[in-house]
C-alpha cells in the first residue's frame, strides 16, 4: 500500500469534516493545515478536527514544505485559482466537483497540473461504489448484451445544514445541475464506458432554490454508442429512493440505493435466467478515492476520476444548463 500523504485542506468545508479528513487518516495520511477565508473559523475548524494549523493565506498553505497534496473543497468559483496556485507550487491536487464554472477554466486546470508534473484528480466519489463498479464490469463483459437505455434516480433532499450557497448563490456554482447532475455525468460515463454527445433537459425552480437557481431537473442524454440515458436530480424530494439502471438487449442491471455517499446499495441482473444479485464488496467511497489518489502520487495507477474526467462531467452539466435554458437539444463539447 502507498504511503499516506501530508495533506493541506483548502476550504474549511462540510464534506472535508464529514468524509474526507477521515478518509485521509484511514489511509495513513496526516492533515497538516487548513485554509479558511476567516481566521476564527479556520482556527475553530483546526481545533475541532485536530489539524496542526490554520491559515488564511493560500500561498502559505501551498508553499509549505510539509505538505505533499491539497484537497480543494471550497465553493466552486474558487477552485480554479486555488488549483493553479497549488500546481504551480508543485502540490498534487484532489479537487472537488464541479472543477470550475466553465470549460475553459477546467481545461486550464488540467493543463496546469500536467505542466507542473503533479497528479490531479476530481472527487467523483460514485465511481468508487461497489455497485457502480459491478455494473461497469458486467456491461464490459457482455452480461446485458448491447446497452440501450440507462436511468439515473438521484433526486434527494438537501439537508438543512447544506441549504446555503447551493440554493442561493449562482456565482458560487449553485443549483442542482452543477451539484448533482455533474455526478450523474461521471457515473454514466464510468458505468457505460462511453461518452455523452448531446442532452435535453427541463428544470424546476423556486421550491427551495432562489436567485433563479434550479432545484430539480429531468433530462435525457445521448451517448456515442447510442444509449439514451434519463436522469432525475433534485434537492427537494424528502422521500424518494435513489437508483441507477442499465437496460440492454440481453439483460437489465437494476442498482438500488446506490446514488449516495454511503457504502451501500445492491444490484440485480435480470435476464432470461431470472433475477440474480451481483456480489458486492462495499468499501468507503471516499477512502477508496484517497487511496487511489495516493497510489497515483506514488506512481501506481491513476486516480479513480482524473482531471480530464472532471472536465468531461462538467461539459455534460454545462450542456444540461444550456439545454434547459434554451429548450433545445444541446451538443456536449467534444474533447472536453
Applying CB under 6 A, does 306 fall inside the site for ligand NDP? Answer: no
Closest separation between CB of residue 52 and ligand NDP, Å?
A: 16
Q: How many CB atoms lie within 10 A of CB 16?
A: 27
Applying CB under 6 A, does 36 fall inside the site for ligand NDP? Answer: yes
> 307-326 and 182-192 are packed helices; what angle lies between their axes, rounded to 10 degrees?
120
Q: Which is nearer to ligand NDP, 147 or 289 (CB)?
A: 289
Applying CB under 6 A, does 313 fall inside the site for ligand NDP? Answer: no
Show Cβ contacts of residue 177 under 8 Å, excluding neighbours closer than 6 positions: 201, 203, 214, 217, 233, 317, 320, 321, 324
Q: Which is nearer to ligand NDP, 173 or 251 (CB)?
A: 173
- The single residue among 64, 75, 198, 308 that binds ligand NDP, judged by CB under 6 A, is 75
Q: Give the interface segment with ligand NDP, choosing from 12-20, 101-109, 142-150, 293-301 (CB under 6 A).
A: 12-20
Please work out the total of residues on this chain that contact ligand NDP, with binding judged by CB under 6 A: 22
Per CB under 6 A, contacts with ligand NDP among 184-243 are none
Dihedral (Cα; 230, 233, 238, 244), 10-degree rounding: 50
Applying CB under 6 A, does 264 fall inside the site for ligand NDP? Answer: no
DSSP 118-134: --EEE--GGGG-HHHHH
Q: Which is nearer to ligand NDP, 122 or 294 (CB)?
A: 122
Closest separation between CB of residue 147 and ligand NDP, Å?
A: 25
Applying CB under 6 A, does 125 fall inside the site for ligand NDP? Answer: yes
Cell of 108: 486550464
Distances (CA, A) of 268 to 135, 191, 250, 289, 290: 9, 15, 14, 25, 28
- The single residue among 15, 204, 240, 268 that binds ligand NDP, judged by CB under 6 A, is 15
- The single residue among 4, 22, 28, 164 that binds ligand NDP, judged by CB under 6 A, is 164
**160, exposed or middle or buried, with CB in 10 Å at 0-12, 13-18, 19+?**
exposed
Show Cβ contacts of residue 16 under 8 Å, excluding neighbours closer than 6 positions: 9, 34, 71, 73
- The single residue among 27, 33, 46, 74 that binds ligand NDP, judged by CB under 6 A, is 74
Q: Which residues bind ligand NDP (CB under 6 A)?
A: 11-15, 36-38, 41, 73-76, 96-97, 123, 125, 162, 164-165, 179, 261
Amino acid at each position: 500500500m502507498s504511503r499516506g500523504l501530508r495533506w493541506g485542506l483548502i476550504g474549511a468545508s462540510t464534506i472535508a469534516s464529514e468524509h474526507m479528513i477521515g478518509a485521509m487518516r484511514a489511509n495513513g495520511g496526516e492533515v497538516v493545515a487548513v485554509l479558511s477565508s476567516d481566521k476564527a473559523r479556520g482556527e475553530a475548524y483546526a481545533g475541532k478536527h485536530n489539524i496542526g494549523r490554520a491559515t488564511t493565506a493560500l500561498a502559505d498553505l501551498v508553499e509549505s514544505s510539509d505538505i505533499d497534496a491539497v484537497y480543494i473543497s471550497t465553493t466552486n468559483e474558487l477552485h480554479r485559482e486555488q488549483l493553479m496556485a497549488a500546481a504551480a507550487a508543485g502540490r498534487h491536487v484532489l479537487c472537488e466537483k464541479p472543477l470550475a464554472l466553465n470549460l475553459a477554466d477546467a481545461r486550464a486546470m488540467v493543463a496546469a497540473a500536467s505542466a507542473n508534473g503533479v497528479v490531479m484528480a476530481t472527487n467523483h466519489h460514485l465511481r468508487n461504489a461497489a455497485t457502480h463498479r459491478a455494473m461497469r464490469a458486467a456491461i464490459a463483459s457482455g452480461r446485458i448484451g448491447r446497452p440501450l437505455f440507462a436511468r439515473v434516480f438521484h433526486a434527494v433532499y438537501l439537508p438543512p445544514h447544506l441549504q446555503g450557497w447551493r440554493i442561493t448563490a449562482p456565482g458560487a456554482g449553485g443549483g442542482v445541475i452543477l451539484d448533482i447532475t455533474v455526478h450523474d455525468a461521471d457515473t454514466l460515463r464510468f458505468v457505460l464506458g462511453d461518452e455523452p454527445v448531446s442532452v435535453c433537459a427541463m428544470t424546476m425552480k423556486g421550491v427551495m432554490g432562489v436567485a433563479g437557481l434550479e432545484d430539480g431537473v429531468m433530462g435525457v442524454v445521448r451517448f456515442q454508442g447510442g444509449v439514451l440515458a434519463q436522469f432525475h436530480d433534485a434537492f427537494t424530494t424528502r422521500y424518494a429512493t435513489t437508483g441507477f439502471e442499465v437496460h440492454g438487449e440481453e439483460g437489465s442491471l437494476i442498482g438500488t440505493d446506490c446514488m449516495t455517499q454511503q457504502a451501500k446499495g445492491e444490484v440485480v441482473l435480470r435476464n432470461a435466467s431470472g433475477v440474480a444479485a451481483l456480489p458486492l464488496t462495499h468499501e468507503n467511497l471516499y477512502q477508496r478515492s484517497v487511496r487511489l489518489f495516493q497510489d497515483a502520487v506514488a506512481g501506481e495507477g491513476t486516480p479513480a476520476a482524473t482531471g480530464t474526467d472532471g472536465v468531461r462531467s462538467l461539459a455534460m452539466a454545462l450542456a444540461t444548463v444550456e439545454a434547459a435554458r434554451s429548450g433545445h437539444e444541446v451538443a456536449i463539447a467534444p474533447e472536453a
